[in-house]
Structures are given as C-alpha cells and as structure tokens.
Amino acid sequence: MASETQEPESEGNEGRREGWPRWSIWMLIALVLASVIVPSLLNRESGTAIDYSGLVDEVTDGRIDSIVVTNQTGAIRAEAIDGTTYTSKGPIELPEADLQLLRDRNIDVEFRTEKSNPFLSFLPILLPFALIIGLFWWMQRRAQGQMSGIMSIGRSKARTYTTERPDTGFDDIAGYKGVKQEITEVVDFLKAPERFAAVGARIPKGVLLVGPPGTGKTLIARAVAGEAGVPFLSVTGSDFMEMFVGVGASRVRDLFQTARKLGRAIIFIDEIDSIGRKRGAGLGGGHDEREQTLNQMLAEMDGFEATEGIVMMAATNRPDILDPALLRPGRFDRQVVVPLPEFEERSEILAVHIKDKTASEEIDLDTVAKGTPGMSGADLANLVNEAALNAVRMDREAIVQDDFEMARDRILMGQRRESVAMTDREKEVTAYHEGGHALIATLFANADPVHKVTILPTGQALGVTMQLPEERHSYSQDYIEDRLAVLFGGRMAEDTVFGVTSTGAANDLMQGTELARRMVTEWGMSGRVGPMAWGSDNQVFLGDGLMSGRDYSDETARVIDEEVERILRTQENRARQALVEHRPALDRIATALLDRETISGNEVAQLIPEPAEAQKQSAEIPKGAVPPPVGQSESD
C-alpha cells in the first residue's frame, strides 16, 4: 500500500521536545536583527533632499526658518517659512562664514548629539561570548544525538503503512488466481475475526510465501493488507542484524510490541532466510547472534494467540534452508507457492506494465507472452522497459512489436558487440558451429524449437542459437538427451567440416556435463546406477556434514563418472551422425549465416529438404523430473 509511513519516534525527538523548540532559535535571531535595523529606520529623516550649496542659497534668500544640525554625521534638517522640510548633508563643523550667515538671517540653529544604540555598543563584547556558547551548545546537541542513536539501536526498523489511503489490492496483481484464493482466508480473518472465533476455527499464525525471485511475493503481502484494511509492518531479515550482540532479539521484541499496539496488523518479513536458517549450521554455536534472533522470533510467535488479529507473513527464495521449528504448525504453518507466471498470467502482467507506456495498438501481447516462458513478473517489467528504451533509441513515438523482439533478444542473448571484428576464418567456423546447433535442434523431435540464429558477436559469445522452450513443468529423458545432442551440435559441426574443434564449445560442454551428471545422480536416468539419488557435495553452506565428504563410495563415484561419460559420448555420436547425414543442409545454413548473419528458425527449417525427418513430434513428458536449465547455445 502506498499510504503514509509512520516512523517510530526516537529518543532524540523526545529530547528535542523537552529542550528549546526549534523556532525559538529563529526568533532570537530575528530580535537581534530588529534591535539593529529598527532604530536606524526610525531615525531616518524625511523631507526634500537638497545639496549643501542649495541649502545655503535658500538661507541667503531668507526662505529658511530653522535648522537642526547633527554633530556626529553632519546631517542637516531645515524647516522653511512655508512649511517645507529640507534634508541635506554638510560638513561636521560648519564654516564660520555659514554660521555668520545664519546669525545675520536670524535663523534658529540647533546642534544635536544623537544617543548611540546600547546594543551596538556591547555587540563587539558579546559576540565572542555568543560564539563560545553556541559552540558548546552544538557539541552538546551532537553528543545527545549520538547517545539517542545508541539507545534506540534495539528498536525495530519496520516501516508501518497505515490504512488511510490503501491503494494496493488483489485487483492490482495480474494473474496468480490460485495464490489469491489460498490467502483469502487470511483477509477474511482480519476483516471479521469474530466469525472464526464463533466457530472455534484457528487461522494460521504465519503464512510463508515461497517462490523464485521477482514473482511478486512482497506485492502479494501488501495486497493482503490492502484488502483487509489493516496496518502493514514491513521489515527485511537483514534489518535485525547489527554488530552489537542482542540487537536482533531486541528488535524482534519491539516489532511485536508495535504490532500489538496496532491491534489487527500484518507483520511482513522479507528474505526471512537471512535470519531463519537452520540452527547449529556453521561455526557460531548456540550463542550466534542470528540464532538468538531466531529464538526470540519463535518465542514471540508462540506468545500471541491467533485471536489477537496479528498475522505473520514472510517471503523467501530458499525454503529448504529454513529451521524446522520455524515451519512447524503454530508458526509458519502454511506455505503459499508463488510460481513463475504461466502464459495467460504473463499476458496479463505485460498489459499491466504497458499501461503507462505509449504503445502502438497493433502490439500483440499474447505473442510476446508466448516468447517469454520462464520469465518472472520483474523480468516482464524489465522487458517492457527495454522495449520502451529501444523505441526511443530508434526515434519512434510509440512502442511497436519489433521493440519487444529486440528487447527480448537483448535480455536473453545479451547486448550486441559492434566493436568485435572477426576474421573470415572465425566467421566461417562460427557459422558452422551455430548451424550445427540449429540443424540438430530442428531435426530432433524433442528439442526446443529454434527461434533465431546469429553469428553477430552478442554478449560474451561470438554467435548465438536462440531456442524458445515450450511451456513445460517436467522433463522427460528423451527431451534431456536431445538437448545434450543440440549442445554437442556445434562442436561436432566444427569437427565434421574442419577436422578440428575450437574453444567455442566451452559453454556447451559445461552445460552438457552438468545435465548428464544430474541425470545420473539426481534423476535416476542411468540403468547402471539405478534408482538412487546422491546428494550434492556442497552441503557445508547449510551446516550439514561440515567435516564429512560425499555420501557414496569411491567405487560408486567411478561408476557415476563412467555413466556420465557414456551419456555424453552417446549424444555426441548422435549429433555427429545426424550432421554427416545432413551435411548439405548444414552447408546451406552456414552459407545463409555468412550472407545474412542472422536467420530465423523458420528459415532454418526451409533449408532442410527432408520434411519427414524434420517434422517435430510432441514428446510425452512424465512427472517427477526436475527441469534442467534451458535457454540458448553459445559460442564463446
């Protein structure tokens, strides 16, 4: 909710109220200036200003009745017979001739000595004392500010959003209908807790939002507060940690006390995994500051009843590393998965982000959504912004469809490097390398469709074969094997045509080796190893098995390595055989790339004359597989 933010009052602010108010300093300065300026304004002479010689002429002509002379400044004020007043400036001591003229004309002359301003007389003496007093006052205030900061270090840094102008609700979130339905009970409880109390139902104390980064977990939590019309206390997990021992626990206590004062409220902790990791993980022991903070949070969640109207909401990208005590019933006992958006949800999200942009009416957001599988809400917002930047770069007044195409290529493949100048030999090798990727991806039935192939230096690669993966939730062994063959297509194309390989396949080999090892150790796709899953060796991060190594024997490790090698060799041979059989098609694709530098997936399919072998077939996708990293094949 974009409503007013109320910061907790610090002790420094309370001390300011007890001392002088801030306006009193400005009032004192105004009085000093008034004492200097006002007397000079009051003593300012009024009348017709004439020069001294003119005043002497007036006296000679007998038109002056009286004169007042100021001794300190030589200022003269003359009253004429007709009532006119003249002001002039003469010498401090009038000449004897002029004095005689005044006597001869019987003019009343008064020599006046003005009294000096007493404040101005003492000002040179008071100024040093004022500076010294001001210096001591400033040092005292600075020391009080530092002390107040130290004394308030244990206070919660949570920002409190009131409900005076709630403008974030479920209608402002595109898609995620299932997530909205799952947390509607929380909204109903906060609106009318008496309904649940009458039946004896207990609403979950804590709701944990789990999902990849950028899926809108924080926005969903604020929408719950907006729908329920209750205050929303937002804090991140890192706000609890300081260099002083006990600060985190103190801030947790202050956070819950603030929530209880508000009555019904939502406490939202973003990135809770920073303080909620498994206790005993690492070298800190039981006195680790993070563990003390977690212990205090667990105690506070047990300390309030569900009928109090306080609901805890938290977000994390790593639920696997959270402490089990944090996830037990009575604490964060409900987990809401916020997944990556599907096709329809991506289209709705794009429509939300393009509202404040000047876009052409011919833009088809469904087409853009189909070409962005795996993108989160934040990625889609970045895509729309990149499209707008590209429109400005091309001097367009509105965003068009091509801008989205360019923005997607920039995000997925990287920025084009115009400064890289490749030799003819490098261009030819790169063309065959990328042509090998594209040919295998087009021939094999389970591979992702080819979207675009380019030999222009892009990102960290000299060429890119961009594939757009279909919307999948699980991956079959056939799909992974075909993907491995696509990865080896570039390397085998270089070996088939030139008889040598280059460093351009480094990224392909890394991806292929990782996929093959996961097939053997995690997904049970090796007949020799069997239906067994071996954990990763990188468990020290979680504090599990700090001093232990892998959980399988050396003989098993040797079998795993042999199986990984067998899988990679098999797919390498498949790619080589397909390239040898379709060598004319590979030559046509490479020639097209050398001529035009960039071709589309449809153009690649047209260059392959064997329609029966190139026909794509939909592969069966069994459940239970973990999706491997899918994307693009690059030549480094």
Using the Cα atoms of residue 317, residue 323, residue 324 and residue 330 in order, give the sign of their dihedral: negative
Query: Strand order of the sheet with strand 310-316?
Result: 5-6, 159-161, 232-236, 265-270, 310-316, 206-210, 334-337
Residues 30, 420: Cα–Cα separation, whole Å: 68
Residues in contact with 181: Cβ distance below 8 Å, sequence separation at least 6, in sequence order: none
Q: Is 434 a catalytic residue?
A: yes
Q: 340-358 in b/e burial notation, b at 16+ Cβ within 10 A?
A: bbeeebbbbbbebbbeeee
Residues in contact with 75: Cβ distance below 8 Å, sequence separation at least 6, in sequence order: 45, 69, 87, 88, 89
In the 8-state DSSP scheme, what is residue 278?
P
DSSP-derived secondary structure for 374-426:
T--HHHHHHHHHHHHHHHHHTT-SSB-HHHHHHHHHHHHH--B-TT----HHH
Active-site residue (options: 227, 289, 434, 572): 434
What is the Cα 193 distance to its own chain's centre? 35
Residue ranges of the alpha helices (H) in 105-246?
A: 118-151, 177-182, 184-191, 193-199, 217-228
DSSP-derived 3-state class of residue 463: strand
Using the Cα atoms of residue 587, residue 589, residue 591 and residue 594 in order, give the sign of their dihedral: negative
What is the Cα 54 distance to its own chain's centre? 78
In the 8-state DSSP scheme, what is residue 160?
E
Residues 325, 315: Cα–Cα separation, whole Å: 16
Residues in contact with 488: Cβ distance below 8 Å, sequence separation at least 6, in sequence order: 440, 505, 508, 512, 568, 571, 572, 575, 576
| CA end-to-end distance (rounded Å), the chain | 46
CB 396 within 8 A of CB 615: no
Tokens of 456: 């222009």
Q: 441-464 in b/e burial notation, b at 16+ Cβ within 10 A?
A: bbbbebbbebbbbbbbbbbebbbb
Q: SS3 sequence, 561-583? A: HHHHHHHHHHHHHHHHHHHHHCH
The label of the residue with tokens 């942009």 reads 357
Residues in contact with 265: Cβ distance below 8 Å, sequence separation at least 6, in sequence order: 230, 231, 232, 233, 259, 309, 310, 311
What is the Cα 104 distance to its own chain's centre? 92
H or E element that contains 41: helix 22-42
Residues in contact with 442: Cβ distance below 8 Å, sequence separation at least 6, in sequence order: 450, 601, 604, 605, 608, 614
Tokens of 115: 């009294």
CB 489 within 8 A of CB 579: yes
Half-sphere CA count of 416, side-chain side, radius 13 A: 10
Q: Please name the amino acid found at residue 405.
A: E
Report, as residue numbers or ranges, the catalytic residues.
434
